[in-house]
Chains A and B, each alone.
Chain A
Amino acid sequence: MNSFSQALDFIGRNGQIPGEPQLPTLVHLTLETIKIAWIGVGIALVIALPIGLWLGHIHRGSFVAINVGNIWRALPSLAVLAIGVAFLGLGLRNVELALIVLAVPPVITNAYVAIDGVDRDVVDAARGMGFNGWQILRKVELPLGVPLIFAGIRTAALFVVSTTTIAALTGYSGSLGDIINNEASYHLSGVLGAAMCIAALALLTDLLLALIQRVLTPRGVSLEKHPARTEAIGPPLAENV
């Protein structure tokens, strides 16, 4: 396909258009996109993980934890971004706030379901061996909950990476969304090239998190093939909008 090879050219030229003055390079925009995405995910994890894990540990708050996840799935991200712009105006802060709002729910819900769902017998056995609550969480529930927790983190991360492109629509510049939103200057080859970069970024993010998950999963813990468990919040794919 002609446009496909043109898109590869565009990537190869680091996002420059021959004959035009210096444009922000593809490398720069990609790094900016990564930066925005990871700040959002990072803050979301700091907020959501403790809450989700704790609620699961004390087996409370299931209504809130599960429904927060349901409501999240329904939120139109452009609308959330728009309301963010209305309150906070243009700028990184507003975009980050929207991304955090969108990233927190899947992490909370999955963390909750992960810990809450650990086999009660195993927990009782550990208690019988003299573990206190904190040790149970650290040594029993967390390791067993790794698969589901990471399913939530991966969903959130992919969602955030994809949503940063929409940020360009709300006037925030400095991400790959700039190229996609500006077909006038970059032409189809540029848009296609940037889209490929985002898709690649999303897949690489997922791979990286899968690797971390594998490292953290203790030997002997296998992923149970129970659909309700492995997919508490949607498929761990690019739940992108």
Chain B
Amino acid sequence: MIVFANGPVIPNFGGGGSTFACERANRLFCPNWVSQNWSSVLWPALRQHIVLTVIAVVIGFAISTALALLAYRRGWVERPVVIVTSILYTIPSLALFELLVGVPGLGLSRTTAEVALVSYTLLIMFRNTLTGLREVPAEVRDAAAGMGMGSMRTLLRVDLPLALPAIIAGVRIATVTVISLATVAALIDDEGLGAPILQAISNEVFKTELIVAGGMAIALALLADGLLVLLQRALTPWARVHQ
């Protein structure tokens, strides 16, 4: 390899000064920047954000449903679960992320972020699922028993379907909560829409990146919320959708 004796070759990066007039002036929106960086910065961030959210909600759903079913059968389970999940929920997200990084085996990784994100979903989904199950009217359950259904069949055919509105409401709240928290997760795991937001602030408040990445996060949250509302309506045509 030849190393030039009089120093390295320094190219005119990206075409030089005038191409970047909008960026240098730090205007609110530079469309050029967006098209240049869509596939390398913005789209991967969006994709990662969706993945982070889906994993957290799916795992949280599994755990909270299991706990709720347990509490439905054995009432004493409810108290300790609510206490633990409430404590997790009260810890400010920034602090929880930092604390988990120190745990041996975790560290600066997606796993750590997921552990924190899952923790925040548990309280909401547990409470909603349990409340939903408990609100099944006694008469309906009696009718099922009268028809000869055992407890497992009652659970699957009667209780869960009737609890569906409350369950989905819980999933909906948990999902948008995770989308929001996942932006903060970028602090310890350089992924998701929080990463360009934090980078744009670490480097002279780059307005375009802030607005675009911030806007995408908001749009994603609203879209997810809207889709889940539609899902709720589609799955429960008989139920009046109340908050």
User: In the complex, A touching B, CB below 8 Å?
Assistant: yes
Asked if A237 and B89 make an inter-chain contact with CB atoms under 8 angstroms apart, the answer reads: yes
Nearest CB on B from A119, distance (A): 18
Asked if A195 and B214 make an inter-chain contact with CB atoms under 8 angstroms apart, the answer reads: no
Q: Is A202 among interface residues, defined by CB-CB distance under 8 A?
A: yes
Asked if B210 and A235 make an inter-chain contact with CB atoms under 8 angstroms apart, the answer reads: no
Asked if A83 and B173 make an inter-chain contact with CB atoms under 8 angstroms apart, the answer reads: no
Nearest CB on A from B163, distance (A): 13
Complex interface: chain A residues within 8 A of B205 (CB): 85-86, 89-90, 171
Enumerate A131-186 residues with CB–CB distance to B below 8 Å.
162, 165-166, 168-171, 177, 180-181, 183
How many residues of B sit at the interface, in one of the four size bands?
A: 35 or more
Q: Is A104 among interface residues, defined by CB-CB distance under 8 A?
A: no
How many residues of A sit at the interface, in one of the four size bands?
A: 35 or more
Nearest CB on A from B237, distance (A): 19
Cα of A191 to Cα of B181 in the assembled complex, Å: 18
Q: Is B221 among interface residues, defined by CB-CB distance under 8 A?
A: yes
Q: Is B40 among interface residues, defined by CB-CB distance under 8 A?
A: no
Option from A76, A166, A188, A235 in Cβ contact (under 8 Å) with B218: A76
Known: A66-B243, A191-B99, A241-B177. A82 touches B92 (CB 8 A): no
Interface of A is mostly: helix
Asked if A86 and B214 make an inter-chain contact with CB atoms under 8 angstroms apart, the answer reads: yes
Asked if B242 and A228 make an inter-chain contact with CB atoms under 8 angstroms apart, the answer reads: yes
Q: Is B239 among interface residues, defined by CB-CB distance under 8 A?
A: no
Asked if B98 and A183 make an inter-chain contact with CB atoms under 8 angstroms apart, the answer reads: yes
Nearest CB on A from B117, distance (A): 11
Q: Is A70 among interface residues, defined by CB-CB distance under 8 A?
A: yes
Q: Is B136 among interface residues, defined by CB-CB distance under 8 A?
A: no
Closest A-B pairs by Cβ, 10 of them: A195-B95, A76-B180, A79-B214, A79-B217, A82-B214, A86-B210, A74-B221, A86-B207, A78-B183, A74-B176
